């Protein structure tokens, strides 16, 4: 019996199972929707769909740097017990390798293994962030991965224009601890700056500062906000007398990415 895209959508609406699994179920049952529902139940996929709304704040991070390419993959789970299993850690590391070699879309090649892991672990397991850096000639990429309980929980990639891998690694380690939100102040959204400015104005006024001095005080505090949240302006954790920008000079931090668990 033939089936259509509408049949696939109807099966998904009835079961909550992903489109590809619904299509596979219809293929296996010759387009019989009732039989396809039974098929999905027997495979345990409807139970997996029921778990999809459960919080999954745990997990592990796979991180790979191969020459001028770096990749990070975040795999999410409900518990650290599952995230610490060899099957889970091996999968996230394999996914990171795959992304480094083939690109971000390549994670789809391991969809079956991801579904199998959902079934065996009986948790809401899903891919989180997947990203890849590829640096041009003259640039370097390095990384930092914080390990906790045998799994990666805080991964950072840094790309420098100039400099060395050792220097890029130092910046990555720094970012791993300070967790900057932005690279440079120009990346901070205008509404974020406006909200911070409003908060600081109210704070300064409530401290009883003279009205005539408030604007200058707030401007200084906004500068402090940028120094706290923008990577290149942060004080280097190993020597707070210099900023990250000064640390890497004459090289330049082109971009960074940080992915964390929890």
> So what's the pLDDT on residue 51?
57
In three-state secondary structure terms, 160 is strand
Tell me: cis bond preceding 158? Omega within 30 of 0 counts: no
**Residue among 192, 187, 164 nearest 257 (CA):** 187
> So what's the pLDDT on residue 152?
97
Question: Which residues pair with residue 133 across a beta bridge?
Answer: 70
Instruction: Tell me which architecture the domain covering 58-184+233-260 has in CATH.
Output: 2-Layer Sandwich (3.30)
Six-digit token string for 241: 């007398």
| Domain 189-229, CATH number (from 3.40.1350, 3.40.50, 1.10.286, 3.10.20) | 1.10.286
**Domain residue spans in the chain?**
5-53, 58-184+233-260, 189-229
Sheet holding 126-134, edge to edge: 58-66, 69-77, 126-134
Rounded CA separation 17/113 (Å): 16
Which H or E run contains 194?
A: helix 190-206
11 within 8 A of 33, measured Cβ to Cβ: yes
> So what's the pLDDT on residue 143?
98
- For residue range 88-98, list pLDDT tens digits in order: 999 999 999 99
Q: Class assignment of domain 5-53?
A: mainly alpha
> So what's the pLDDT on residue 200?
94
pTM: 0.78
> So what's the pLDDT on residue 256?
98
DSSP state of 105: G
158 within 8 A of 248, measured Cβ to Cβ: no
- Can you list the residues of the chain whose pLDDT is less than 50? none
> So what's the pLDDT on residue 9?
85
- For residue range 105-161, list pLDDT tens digits in order: 999 999 888 888 887 777 888 899 999 999 999 999 999 999 999 999 999 999 999
């Amino acid at each position: 019996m033939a089936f259509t895209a509408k049949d696939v959508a109807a099966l998904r609406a009835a079961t909550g199972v992903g489109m590809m699994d619904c299509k596979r179920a219809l293929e296996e049952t010759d387009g019989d929707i009732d039989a396809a529902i039974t098929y999905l139940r027997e495979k345990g996929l409807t139970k997996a769909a029921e778990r999809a709304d459960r919080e999954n704040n745990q997990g592990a991070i796979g991180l790979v740097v191969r020459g001028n390419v770096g990749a990070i993959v975040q795999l999410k789970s409900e518990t650290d017990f599952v995230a610490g299993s060899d099957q889970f850690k091996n999968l996230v590391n394999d996914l990171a390798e795959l992304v480094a070699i083939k690109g971000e879309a390549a994670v789809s090649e391991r969809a079956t293994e991801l579904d199998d892991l959902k079934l065996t672990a009986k948790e809401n397991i899903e891919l989180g962030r997947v990203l890849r850096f590829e640096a041009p000639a003259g640039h370097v990429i390095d990384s930092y991965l914080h390990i906790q309980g045998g799994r990666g929980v805080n991964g950072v990639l840094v790309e420098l224009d100039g400099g060395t891998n050792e220097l890029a690694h130092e910046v990555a380690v720094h970012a791993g601890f300070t967790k900057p939100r932005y690279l440079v102040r120009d990346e901070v959204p205008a509404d974020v700056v406006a909200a911070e400015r409003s908060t600081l104005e109210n704070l300064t006024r409530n401290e009883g500062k003279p009205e005539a001095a408030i604007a200058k005080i707030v401007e200084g505090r906004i500068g402090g906000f940028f120094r706290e949240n923008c990577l290149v302006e942060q004080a280097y954790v190993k020597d707070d007398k210099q900023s990250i920008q000064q640390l890497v000079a004459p090289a330049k931090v082109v971009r960074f990415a940080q992915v964390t668990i929890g």
